[in-house]
Amino acid sequence: MNYTYIEQLLERYWQGETNLDEEQILRSFFCQEDVPDHLREYAEFFSFARDSKNECVSEDFDSRFADILSEEEEKKTVRVKAIRIPFKTRLMPLLKSAAVVALTLTIGGAALRAVMAPEEPDTIQLTTGTYVQRQDVKAVIEAAQRSMTAKADSISDKKSVDSDLKTE
């Protein structure tokens, strides 16, 4: 029997020049019973390549893997404990927000008033409707004192006239 084709194919196989179909031909050839002696040294390798494709995980792999998967799922499941929250606690965020708003408005208002307030006038109000220059206050007081002294003098003069008339 002529094995030239197989020998050539085998040589190309070792050179890495065969395609998948040709490699399948080699596997089929070497897996048959009557392999010629001069090629027998390679038969074991091709049988090994063919049989190795049947190598698989152990029988209990699926059951062990199912256990691992359920453990993984268990880890992912988040357990939540229910807690009763009182009404006051539930309102607390609202109250906190209201307090923050009130505080902001108060501080903001005060700051705004300080910024926007007009400069203090250079006058003071002495009496309703009467404004006097600050530098004149002393003069006004002196005038008032003089006026009151004069008034007091006139009163005392009047009293002395009355007493003179009574004595007469």
Partner 1 sequence: MKEVSFKNDILPLKDILFRLSVRITQNREDAEDIVQETLIRLWNETKRQEIDNVKSFAMTVCRNLSLDHISKKEHQAVSFEEDLHDQVDIGSQPDRMIESKERYGFLKTLIAELPEKQRTALQLRDIEGQSYKEIAAEMEISESDVKVNIFRARQKLKERLKGLKK
Site for partner 1 in 13-52 (CB under 8 A): 13-16, 20, 23-24, 41-42, 44-45, 48-49, 51-52
Radius of gyration of the chain (CA): 59
- The residue within the footprint of partner 1, chosen from 34, 53, 85, 93 (CB under 8 A), is 53
Q: Is 65 among the residues that bind partner 1 (CB under 8 A)?
A: yes
Q: Is 103 among the residues that bind partner 1 (CB under 8 A)?
A: no
Tell me the window of 1-9, 66-74, 100-108, 137-145 that interacts with partner 1 (CB under 8 A): 66-74
Quote the least distance from Cβ 62 to partner 1, whole Å: 8
